[in-house]
Amino acid sequence: MSSLRTCLGWLGCGCLSAWAVQSPVAIPINEVESAVPPYTLPDTLTLQSGQRVTTAAQWPRRRDELVRLFEEHVYGRIPAGLPRERGWVVETRTHALGGKAIRQRIQVPLSKGPRPILLDLLVYRPAQATRPVPMFLGLNFDGNHTITHEADVPLARGWVANRPRSGVTRNEARESSRGSDAEAWPIERILERGYGLATAYYGDAEPDFDEGWKQGLRGAVAARKPGHRAQPGDWGGIAVWSWALTRALDQLSLDPAIDRHKVAVIGHSRLGKTALWAGARDPRFALVIANESGEGGAALARRFYGETTLRINTSFPHWFNGRFKDYNHRIGDLPVDQHELVALVAPRAVYIASAEEDRWADPRGEYLSGWQASEVYRLLGQDGLPGPDMPALNVSVGSSVGYHIRSGAHALTPVDWEFYLQFADRHLR
């Protein structure tokens, strides 16, 4: 059938990734809108008991139920009682970026023990601020040194995805990637608009490969519970990284120069999935931004378009819990879908973004998720997206649920940031 494309491993899927651990299994993939079969979404406003939620006062009960369902069936439970000790400032630069920023590096402990897992939080605040600043907080893909050209930001310490070429030392390779992701993090523009930016490398919390958990937070937690047998509900990588965001927020909240009630959590791609799960779980985040988060993020799982549950669980089994794999061939039985993840952010502001060429992330599935979540926003007295028709390219729509689809490919770009800054001005100012 010409409308269905079978993708052998990752070849031809537009999903080439250095992280993907692949077995050459044939997995059906569809990227043709007219070939999307009909599907029925679970009803966000019906409790599992069958009772309907009709008032704002009834929503918290359904919200708790949905958080539990996402924990049990998708992302896994974050263990109770993880340490939440305060971090320590290792460096403060009062004249960073030519005097525009106050820059701090803070180590935030995620675990206890002789070799604790430490999150290296890099924080920029506008130097001229006279009151507590609103912030953007997001994890980065390749190390704090890649988001800036500043020579004195230390290189990532542990695992990074790209192996050095032969004849090049690890540090030489990392040094050559300094500033390589600076375009995704327009620090000076963010500061100029009156916001601070905090970021940390996701690999600090846990390396992103199948066995990476052994070297990361999950390994450290397991080591403290000898004899503990892994359970299907145990947490996956996305839950670990989302916990790192919660811990980063714990730390930012201690700084009187930061307005802890105005922290936006942002992430791109797998880290967009992570930002959504962090923002859904942790109501302290005032705004949640999911840039091209795709499958396991904003995109509806039941829509057969782009990446599928089977495909993501095959390529990245370590991102989700064990039970999520039960739905590889029966997604219709999953008790939740991703519009309910977006709804968990309500009534706080949420922004979903897509890119036209990023079919793998299913732009329409991302939009529809925001639209479907809008009924909860309206129940809670906010606005939602108006209807199922997608907006034109490069136009931002929505007031509490924001959305745009940018022309171009899968990336977090300065154009996306302009939309986020405008949206944040409305919600965090």
Please report how many Cα atoms fall inside a 13 Å half-sphere around the Cα of residue 360, on the Cβ side: 19
Residue closer to ligand GTR, measured from CB, 29 or 264: 29
| Binding to ligand GTR, residues 303-332 (CB under 6 A) | 307, 312, 315
Position among 196, 279, 294, 398 found at the interface with ligand GTR (CB under 6 A)? 294
Q: Is the preceding omega at residue 134 within 30 degrees of 0, hence cis? A: no
Q: Which two tokens stand for residue 139?
A: 């994890």
Place of tokens 């009772």: 51
Residue closer to ligand GTR, measured from CB, 141 or 213: 141
Per-residue interface string for the shown chain with ligand GTR, residues 50-69, x marking contact by CB under 6 A = --------------------
Asked if residue 252 lies in contact with residue 123, where contact means CB atoms within 8 angstroms, the answer is yes
Asked if residue 114 lies in contact with residue 108, where contact means CB atoms within 8 angstroms, the answer is no
Residue closer to ligand GTR, measured from CB, 17 or 177: 17
Phi, psi torsion values for 205, nearest 5 degrees? -80, -40
Minimum Å gap between C-beta 312 and ligand GTR is 6
Minimum Å gap between C-beta 13 and ligand GTR is 8
What is the rounded CA–CA span in Å between residue 223 and residue 65? 30
What is the 8-class DSSP label of residue 189?
H
Q: Is 13 exposed, middle or buried (0-12, 13-18, 19+ CB in 10 A)?
A: buried
Residue closer to ligand GTR, measured from CB, 17 or 399: 17
Minimum Å gap between C-beta 311 and ligand GTR is 7
What are 288's strand-pairing partners? 265, 350
Q: Does 295 bind ligand GTR (CB under 6 A)?
A: yes
Per-residue interface string for the shown chain with ligand GTR, residues 7-46, x marking contact by CB under 6 A = --------x-x--x--------------------------
Minimum Å gap between C-beta 128 and ligand GTR is 35
Residue closer to ligand GTR, measured from CB, 87 or 370: 370
Give the total of residues touching ligand GTR (CB under 6 A).
Answer: 10
Known catalytic residue: 269? yes
State the catalytic residue, choosing from 145, 268, 410, 427: 410
Minimum Å gap between C-beta 86 and ligand GTR is 31
| Binding to ligand GTR, residues 95-124 (CB under 6 A) | none
Helices (H), 177-328: 187-192, 202-205, 217-223, 237-252, 270-281, 309-315
Question: By C-alpha distance, which of 125, 155, 131, 161 is closest to 143?
Answer: 155
How far from 325 is each of 116, 310, 336, 381, CA to CA, in Å? 31, 7, 14, 36
Residue closer to ligand GTR, measured from CB, 14 or 391: 14
Minimum Å gap between C-beta 56 and ligand GTR is 34
Q: Is 190 exposed, middle or buried (0-12, 13-18, 19+ CB in 10 A)?
A: buried
Q: Which two tokens stand for residue 195?
A: 């916001």
| Binding to ligand GTR, residues 228-287 (CB under 6 A) | 269-270
Asked if residue 247 lies in contact with residue 225, where contact means CB atoms within 8 angstroms, the answer is no
Known catalytic residue: 410? yes
State the catalytic residue, choosing from 242, 269, 293, 354: 269
Binding site for ligand GTR (CB under 6 A): 15, 17, 20, 269-270, 294-295, 307, 312, 315
Catalytic residues: 269, 410
